[in-house]
Structure 1
Amino acid sequence: MSDRKTTDEIGPLLGPADVRELAAALGVRPTKQRGQNFVIDANTVRRIVRTAQVRPDDVVVEVGPGLGSLTLALLEVADRVTAVEIDDVLAAALPGTVAARLPERADRFALVHSDALHVTELPGPAPTALVANLPYNVAVPVLLHMLERFPTIERTLVMVQAEVADRLAAGPGNKVYGVPSVKANWYAEVKRAGAIGRNVFWPAPNVESGLVSLVRRAEPLPSRVSREEVFAVVDAAFAQRRKTLRAALAGWAGSAAAAEAALVAAGVSPQARGESLTIESFIAIAENKVPAADAADQEPTR
């Protein structure tokens, strides 16, 4: 049975046969190195757009558009779409795909040929939403970079490996709560937004996929120290997650005594572990870092 769907069924979107034909014409074979798995199901990309609550006035940035499956679905709804693509062949082909399949919206599309981790500015109006099937091998670094670099992004919906989705959305006390969970929570309220089956991809990945929704905080979390200072505490706490915070933060603070002084001042038990702390607790610890030389005087009497 043919996997080609009619134009009436999927409109300008790409079906399985379209994706394979485009790939063949371009000589493209998805690579594990770049985490490429192309979405071949029109219903899935429209579901992603609905779940992302893309509005007609949104300026959407998409990372890793590939052959354009999600790009076209976004362009059907959003005011503008800017796609960031690292692959030379895919970047060169995508504007032509948009012009051929959605010509009336082609002037609303922009392409940035770059590694998303190196993108510091985007053409046109500031983005209001990030919607992407992120390359699985760099999903978390790309997500955090985009949220940091583009504070106008209010809403994000990303498709990532299910295990990564669980980590991003996990709360304190969860066994998969860790660095991605805390850092994402610095920027936004994070939650799982659904699962995606393997059969909507070509090639089908060896792992399950999930959707993660991030809604940026209306006001940044109150902090007297920088994001970098807070993230340094987070990194140290989870680098040795089985250790107590007194031990895990010794290198960050300069000594175990200095770590304990900061923890006590922040209202956190020195015997706690990073997996039990909220982002607010990590901020408090960073705010109360003391010089190692002063910590001995502050060490509690045992």
Structure 2
Amino acid sequence: MRRSTRRAPVRSRPWALLEVFLRRGRLPALDSRPGDGRLALVTASRRGGRRPLGQHFLRNPRTVERILAALGASAGDTVVEIGPGTGALTRPLLSRGVRVVAVEADAGLSARLLAELAERGLVVVEGDARAVDPGPALRQAGAAPPVPLVGNLPYESATPMVRAFVRRPDLYARLVVMVQREVAERLVAAPGSDAYGFLSVDVAAHAAARLLFGVPPRDFAPAPRVFSAVVELVPHPPEPGTAGALALASAGFASRRKTLLNALSAVHDREAVRRAIASAGLPEDVRAETLGLPELRALAARLVPGGS
């Protein structure tokens, strides 16, 4: 018997349908039905007919489970979720008895999540995660910071978000976030590696970072053109001398191909820079890309005495 060449009905390909809606500027709300493993899609119009903030929605339940396992939240805990989107992480967190304070910039997504999940304890703070303070919402949820943070961060704003989050050890105990793979490599890079740069130094000054696992494009709808990765960051207060170290790192990486002597001579007296480098026990031709925070702090202390 000849095999049929007809395509499967759309209802058997829910994530293909999701991509169709996103291309047409209509966003489905996804409802994971416990027990039968199916996804119910309900269409809803979006203002302006555009995909929300260039988001790619996580669709692989195995990846969701790996993220939740890394987060380690249990019943009674409260977490902040950045960019809940269609609720791929939100629903299983709520199902486990975890209280979720979600920060979502898209008003349409916020409304749909609240309509479905408010009775299960979801609190949504609408706004840009880089500027919104979830502290009042955490208190509303009965939580005392610091709390864990989880999220599938938008590619275009992940870097400023991470830099803002790690500067709040008073608010966030640890972060488990998904970002573009290249960004993840820069977040955890060590001195001397190709990915090492100012972002690596800045994050290391405020958090302990490690890469957990990679995530392929097929785990999202629509599939992005890049790979992603999940990283863990544990914020901590910066040590004394960090501001001076970051100022030197910024100047050094702004002229990456130059020696630190030449790069810093643009803003400091050249002979003072030469003496500081020698006093710190560093070679005169040293470059910023080879120095970690301890060396940068030592150099800053000699070049800018009394600098914080």
TM-score of Structure 1 vs Structure 2, range by shorter chain: 0.7 to 0.9
* 1:91-110 CA distance string (max 9 Å, x none): 222212324xxx4xx22x22
Quote the Cα distance in structure 2 between the aligned partners of 1:77 and 1:264: 57
Shift of 1:6: 5.7
The Cα shift of 1:177 comes to 0.8
Residues paired across the two proteins, number? 271
User: After superposition, what is the alpha-carbon deviation per residue over 1:202-229, rounded to whole angstroms, capped at 9, x for unaligned?
Assistant: 1100001111112335xx4532x3x443
Which one is further off, 228-237 or 191-200? 228-237
- Quote the offset at 1:268 in angstroms: 3.0
**Structure 1 match to 2:4:** none
Report the AA paired with residue 146 of structure 1.
F
Which structure dedicates a bigger proportion of its chain to strand?
2
Q: Which whole-Å deviations, capped at 9, do the CAs of 1:148-170 have from their partners, x for residues lacking one?
A: 13434222111111111111111
Q: Distance in 2 between matches of 1:167 and 1:231?
A: 16
**What is the alpha-carbon distance in structure 2 between the residues aligned to residue 277 and residue 47 of structure 1?**
34
Q: What does 1:93-104 correspond to in 2, within 5 Å?
A: 93-99=112-118, 103=119
> Which of residues 190, 196, 200 is equivalent to 1:177?
196
The match for 1:264 among 266, 271, 278 is: 278
TM-score w.r.t. the length of structure 1 is 0.80
Pick closer, same or farther for the CA change 1:201–1:246 going to 2, 3 Å.
Answer: same
Q: Which amino acid aligns with 2:222?
A: P
Please tell me whether the aligned partners of residues 166 and 176 of structure 1 are also in contact (alpha carbons under 8 angstroms): yes
Following TM superposition, by how much is the alpha carbon of 1:289 offset from its aligned partner in structure 2, in angstroms? 2.5
2:88 counterpart of 1:69: yes
Distance 2:72 2:79 in 1: 11
Percent of pairs with identical residues: 35
Change (3 A) 1:72 1:7: closer
Q: Which residue of 2 aligns with 1:296?
A: none
Contact conserved, 1:63 with 1:84, CA < 8 A, in 2?
A: yes
Contact 1:61 1:127 (C-alpha < 8 Å) held by counterparts = no
User: How far apart are the structure 2 equivalents of 1:45 and 1:239?
Assistant: 38
**Corresponding residue of 1:249:** 264
- Paired letter, 1:8: G
1:167-218, Cα deviation, whole Å (9 max, x unpaired): 111111111111221111112221110011211211100001111112335x
Q: Is the 8 A contact 1:60 1:127 kept in 2?
A: no
Matched-pair contact (CA < 8 Å) for 1:168–1:184: yes
Provide structure 2 residue ranges, at least 5 long, that are not aligned to the other structure: 1-7, 15-31
Show structure 1 runs of 4+ deviating over 4 A.
none
Structure 2 residue corresponding to 1:230, chosen from 245, 253, 257? 245
Structure 1 stretches lacking a partner, 5+ long = 292-302
State the match for 1:129 in structure 2.
Answer: 148
Instruction: Check the 8 A contact 2:79/2:101 in 1, yes or no.
Output: yes
AA aligned opposite 1:41 = N
**Is 1:64–1:85's contact at 8 Å kept on the other side of the alignment?**
yes
Return closer, same or farther for 1:275/1:120 CA change in 2, 3 Å cut-off. Answer: same
**CA-CA distance at 1:51 after TM superposition:** 1.9
Report deviation, 1:74: 2.6
Report if aligned partners of 1:58, 1:127 keep a CA contact under 8 Å in 2: no
- Provide the rounded CA distance (Å) in 1 between the counterparts of 2:177 and 2:33: 28
CA 1:287–1:158: 2 relative to 1, 3 Å: same
* Match for residue 144 of structure 1 among 163, 167, 171: 163
CA contact (8 A) 1:196 1:211 kept: yes
What's 1:117 paired with?
130
The one-letter code matched in structure 1 to 2:257 is R
Which amino acid counterpart does residue 132 of structure 1 have in structure 2?
Answer: G
Matched, 1:194 2:213: yes
The secondary structure found in structure 2 opposite 1:117 is: coil
1:284 shift after superposition:
2.1
Q: Are residues 1:287 and 2:304 paired? A: no
Output the amino acid matched with 1:247: N
User: Quick one: distance in 2 between partners of 1:6 and 1:86?
Assistant: 26
